[in-house]
Structure 1
């Protein structure tokens, strides 16, 4: 129980929320799973803002910030964007997935969240309202300071006609991830035209392996050189009390190779 809460706001518009945030009176709240004891004196209830939706638009699929993980996981994705559903469907427990919101997970970025990794692979856009309305590529958004005085309103996932693979590694089903990986490829006659490889949890902030991506474009997906390139990945895993850095780096290389094998099988089947 948050015994320090002194005020509870129920605004009916984004502008009202921003005014409360700018005045330092409270923090946004929708699912509540990111709140920590002793750190909150005012809550801003976002549930009246109509930000719980999944809509198809010309630019892609728009997901409201208050949309729950399970709603996204159970949505009927028709293309490579399924990796987002796979990631969120494996996060936390089923009761918590009915509470955790996409916007809250991006805003607080808790250690257990696997949201950034598939969003990076899918080149998502994060829309926010603050001193001005802005739309950030997900990679730029992740560089913003946590707790900045803005409100996430929507995440846009562009169409993804290619193939995607998502992988998550943890000691047990409900444990925090030690590594998560999202791979998205677009090919034409077996040639890699676009490659996005994103990693999370093994590093302090989820990011894309752009050097690897650039080397892969133009190669046949069946080219033995693909695995050679994947084996050259260079990152320094963050310290993990349960697994050595060497183990996690070798696991990453192995799972990248497996992801490419699975995608190659899909490409060959088509």
Structure 2
């Protein structure tokens, strides 16, 4: 199919991009890497009047340190996140989750911020962002604001972003020395997650001192598995203890039923994959 006609603008600053969104009204769309938006346009599932392309805004690219946090520009590609030394040292979970995104072609074009803002419940980056208590830096006509991941993801493909706002960057606290793993189950290579589990743990000798666990595609938004975290903290890292904690993974979830899996299957997958992910993280 051919997309509907639209106006196109490629601003060079964030302020110009916000002004373009304000001028275009609610029917405008932001173009980042285009890996989610372009197929939707081709199928005419969306018909924006204006596309605001962020590709020329240098401020939105790169990974930097800011005290005890990393700041990842929204237009930083998956490929760049994968290979960034700061990410691998201080936020290993993000690097491991990004390794599973689609294929090399998509990772070279798709953007970290685009995936977060798209808020697909089967996407591989929202759950790690939630697990790591990331914060979203948002530019709006009134200035900039910061929204924690727990409040940013609101519903299916729905975030705290208003129509005239742009995700500028993601702030991720440093988890230096933590162990991490992203365990993903999909039916075919490069497909969306049927279920996936994001885990980051800090060990103290043979015990687990802190744990952060979040689930992909177990609800309309990423889900924090707090019952698993509570069961893990203070316990030893033995296989038996990890398996027992993982049995809490499906608590409080509302997974979808579709052609890939029904509710009960996804709940069991969550328990099994959580055990695998924690075990892999603690070695």
Instruction: Return the TM-score normalized by structure 1.
Output: 0.89
Structure-2 residue corresponding to 1:8: 8
Structure-1 residue corresponding to 2:281: 263
Summarize deviations over 1:12-38 as a string: whole Å, max 9, x none: 221221122223162221212222223
RMSD: 2.2
Q: Does 1:157 align with 2:172?
A: yes
Structure-2 residue corresponding to 1:28: 30
Structure-1 residue corresponding to 2:147: 136
Structure-1 residue corresponding to 2:52: 44
Measure the CA separation in 2 of the matches of 1:3 and 1:22. 23
Structure-2 residue corresponding to 1:70: 79
Give the C-alpha shift of residue 154 in structure 1. 0.6
Choose 32-41 or 177-186, whichever is displaced more: 32-41
Residue segments in structure 1 that go unaligned for 5+ positions in a row:
266-270
- Other structure's SS at 2:137 match: strand
Structure-2 residue corresponding to 1:95: 105
Measure the CA separation in 1 of the matches of 2:213 and 2:248. 14
For the 8 Å contact 1:193–1:218, the answer to whether it is kept is: yes
Give the C-alpha shift of residue 220 in structure 1. 2.5
Residue segments in structure 2 that go unaligned for 5+ positions in a row:
none
- Other structure's SS at 2:143 match: coil
For the 8 Å contact 2:197–2:277, the answer to whether it is kept is: no
Match of 1:196 among 212, 216, 222: 212
Measure the CA separation in 2 of the matches of 1:114 and 1:262. 18
Structure-1 residue corresponding to 2:115: 105
Instruction: Return the TM-score normalized by structure 2.
Output: 0.85
